[in-house]
Amino acid sequence: MKVAVLKGGDSLERQVSLRSGARVEDALDRLGHEVVAVDVGPDLVDRLGAERPDVAFVALHGRGGEDGTVQELLELLGIPYTASGPSACMRCMDKVVAKHALRDAGVPTPDFYAFSQAAFEELGAARALPAIEERLDFPIVVKPAGQGSALGIKFAATADDVPGAIVAAFSYDTKVLLERHVAGRDLAVSVLEGPDGPEALPIVEAVPQDESFYDFESRYEIGRTRFICPADLPDAVAERARELALESYRVLGCYGFARVDLMLDSASGELTVLEANVIPGLTDTSLLPLAAEAAGIGFDALIARVLELALARAPA
Amino acid sequence: MPPSRSGARDIERYAGLFARRTQVMKSSAMRDLMAVTARPEVISLAGGLPDTSTFPAEDFSALMARVGADDAARALQYGPTEGLDEVKGPIMEVMAAEGMEVEPDDLLVTTGGQQVIDLVCKTLIDPGDVVIAEAPTYPGAAPVFVSYQADVLQIEMDEDGMRIDVLEQELERLDREGRAPKFIYTVPSFQNPAGVTLSLERRRRLVDIAHRRELLVLEDNPYGMLRYEGEPLPTLYTLDGAEFVIYLGTFSKILSPGLRLGWCAAPRPVLDKLNLGKGAADLCSSPLSQLFVRRYFDERDWLAYVGKLTGVYRRRRDIMLEALAEHFPREATWTRPQGGLFIWAKLPDFIDTTDLLARALRDHVAFVPGRAAYLDGRGGTEMRLNFSGVSDDAIREGVRRIGEVIREQLALYGRLTGAEPAPSRASEPAREAPASHAPAAEAPDSQVLPLRRKAG
């Protein structure tokens, strides 16, 4: 089968995407497919038109790849593609939309408030900050709504830190999120569709080695963060985490695979969902492949399954 | 699905093989961000490149042809680790132009100046040893220090370079802890990244400290010949009399970085050790490059070429300074280098230049965020701007775009804090007169840099 691997692009996660894409290409090659590597740029439609792939493997992270743009285009071109469709991508890429959807469906997510740049520019939203600060308690986490990595995420320890953190977050997006900080353990639950529907894979715990924050750098770097899979958790907690991940996957309308990030509050023992990633990293240090392997699914088998799912969804 | 411990295999397969020192090599956020700066549509003020397009292509091909015709066998052969005798003449000429006298045996030819930093660390540093550097320091030196697991102590600077009083305090503090630095790393002239120059008085004091304490100083001097104004200062190597200073020179900025040719001059016992390290690293630097340099110095006027470069870079520096005065908000400050390739700017402490870079990239312009020049997490509000490798128009347009995004963030911050919103650029009166307003409040832990408004 002719498979186009879409990777790169011009998002800030370009490098990670290139690494994910290269690894997927190797796997597809081993699986006997004809691989067309596509570094996504202005010639994307022309290239897909010329190559006429049977299916596209989306290995793009961040803006453009993970936000539904490319998926919409692939629908238009009638090319089957891996993982979630446009609407799930849009919901997950925008943390604010995702958190609203989760909260509406009763999935616990840390309390939050979100603002667009226009709210500050035109509606005087700055006046509302003290009330938010009172309700969320410090420290507050400030995030850009649509940045896939941890770039731009800041902790505000006091009210004085909030404006600077908001300015930083607006460097990445026109919408920012102020979220209650959960002190606790950082869990990632990968979801992969099996014969009987979505299944939660073994839980990965990310334990930062030398930073107070599991940050963008350590996320992709061997040695900076220790990953424990399966995470050492009481059965009931692990079960609950998997349930929440599956529920989030359903609520957000994901397809194929996704990775759901959760926090386990050290003080209360409460689990909350932070976000879902529709195109999780597939590099050799990424969490979803790690979880799949822990479940006995090697990387090639993982890629093969995701590809089958893409074809299964394709209209006849 | 049954969980299994084998899941960690993929990551651990290689992780278990890496040396411990690799665990402290960081980079990916910055690296990923910087990768985006390399896109063709981006005006990059983030580089540190000399403008090699100023070198006449016909000279290059003619000289290379001569090397090929007369010296092919030697050019294609290994050479001595310490370098070919032929290239030592040109090195001595360059050093003489900066007032230094050396013997051929004082020299080790290296693969770029960068190799000297690596060899000095390799020769002197055990894990945990202290190295003293400037704050900010050359971003390319940071990964070298880190990979040898040095404990780097960065000393703040002002417009006269490294603060020697602070250095002395820190040395005394180390004394009390029973520690002594192995060496002091400094770029005394037109420092990368800050653009400042160590004053003569401080040069004397630094050399004096080195003598008194028997400390080595690594003097990194790639830009000494690229002076656009003011009188040349004696190098530390000259003032020291070649006792405690390891001098690092390079052809990269006066001729070509593609040649990968640098050198060091050092006390003989140190040089012998560096030579052993060099042999282990790469046996020898390219004889082809060395023979080319010899030809070039024999048959062309290298000083005239440096003069030409100096003219181009001086003009670009002036354009950048003008553009900064026009487009950067009054809350920003920056250095005014008398030479070299870089200007260092500092923004109000609520602006994070790493995040600002992400925003600036949307407008297709890039700079180096200040954190790259510190190993201790400082530099979050600072940025390095390069003017040597960018066209005049690109400098103007690049600075304009950066100024725009800074203003946008200032205005937003003003709105968030209820402060007077910053005036938009269009409504702001032109600022011709020397600025007299106070600089933005400094964060208590930030260093004081030579922060100047535009030229008076």
- Amino acid letter at B274? L
Region A65-84: mean pLDDT is: 94
Pick the closest to residue B325 from B158, B160, B452 (CA basis): B452
Question: Does B35 sit within 8 Å of A299, measured CB to CB?
Answer: no
Of A126, A220, A297, the CB nearest to B416: A126
Statement: residue B439 has pLDDT above 90 = no
Q: Is A220 noted as a catalytic residue in this protein?
A: yes
Q: Tokens 């103007």 belong to which residue?
A: B396
Region A230-235: mean pLDDT is: 96
The Cα–Cα gap between A145 and B20 comes to 37
Strands B245-250 and B216-220: parallel
The predicted pLDDT at position B194 comes to 96
Which band of pLDDT confidence, cut at 50, 70 and 90, is reported for residue A119? Answer: confident
**Catalytic member of A21, A148, A256, A281:** A281
Asked whether the beta carbons of B372 and B379 are under 8 A apart, the reply is yes
Statement: residue B190 has pLDDT above 60 = yes
Which band of pLDDT confidence, cut at 50, 70 and 90, is reported for residue A213? Answer: very low
pLDDT tens-digit profile of B22-52?
655 554 566 677 777 778 889 999 988 999 9
A176 part of contact set with chain B, CB < 8 Å: no
Surface of B (415-434) touching A: CB under 8 A: 415-418
pLDDT tens-digit profile of A265-287?
999 999 999 999 999 999 887 89
Q: What is the pTM of this model?
A: 0.87
Q: Tokens 């205005």 belong to which residue?
A: B411
**Which residues from B are below 8 Å from A41, CB to CB?**
none
**Catalytic member of A68, A277, A286, A305:** A277
**Catalytic member of A9, A91, A261, A286:** A261
A301 part of contact set with chain B, CB < 8 Å: no
B404 part of contact set with chain A, CB < 8 Å: no
Determine the length of chain B: 456
**Which residues from B are below 8 Å from A292, CB to CB?**
7
**Which residues from A are below 8 Å from B22, CB to CB?**
223
Q: Quick one: closest CA in A to B4, which residue?
A: A294
Region B137-166: mean pLDDT is: 95
Q: In the Cβ-directed half-sphere of A143, how many Cα atoms lie within 13 Å? A: 23
- ∠ Cα A215 A14 B328 (to 5°): 75
Statement: residue B7 has pLDDT above 80 = no
Which band of pLDDT confidence, cut at 50, 70 and 90, is reported for residue B442? Answer: very low
Q: Tokens 């609203």 belong to which residue?
A: A100
Segment A233-237 long-range contacts (CB within 8 Å, at least 24 positions apart)? A233/A187, A233/A203, A233/A205, A233/A264, A237/A264, A237/A269, A237/A271
Q: Is A186 noted as a catalytic residue in this protein?
A: no
The predicted pLDDT at position A128 comes to 84
Pick the range with the lowest mean pLDDT from A38-42, A162-166, B320-324, B425-429: B425-429
The predicted pLDDT at position A40 comes to 94
Of B3, B18, B415, the CB nearest to A295: B3
Asked whether the beta carbons of B37 and B46 are under 8 A apart, the reply is yes
Region A243-271: mean pLDDT is: 96
The Cα–Cα gap between B443 and B347 comes to 11
Which band of pLDDT confidence, cut at 50, 70 and 90, is reported for residue A11? Answer: confident
Pick the closest to residue A291 from B252, B138, B88, B7 (CA basis): B7
Mean pLDDT of chain A: 90
The Cα–Cα gap between B254 and B226 comes to 8
**Catalytic member of A149, A190, A218, A248:** A149
Cis amide leading into B136 (omega within 30) = yes
A164 part of contact set with chain B, CB < 8 Å: yes
Region B148-176: mean pLDDT is: 97
Pick the closest to residue B152 from B340, B317, B377, B437 (CA basis): B377
The predicted pLDDT at position B19 comes to 76
State both tokens at B361.
Answer: 């990239």
Mean pLDDT of chain B: 88
Region B238-250: mean pLDDT is: 96
Question: Does B417 sit within 8 Å of A163, measured CB to CB?
Answer: yes
Q: Quick one: closest CA in B to A149, which residue?
A: B29
The Cα–Cα gap between A314 and B14 comes to 38
- The percent of residues in chain B predicted with pLDDT above 90, rounded, is 78
In a mutational test of the B interface, the residue from A63, A154, A167, A192 whose CB has the highest number of chain B CBs within 10 Å is: A167
A163 part of contact set with chain B, CB < 8 Å: yes
Return the higher-pLDDT residue of A125 and A170. A170
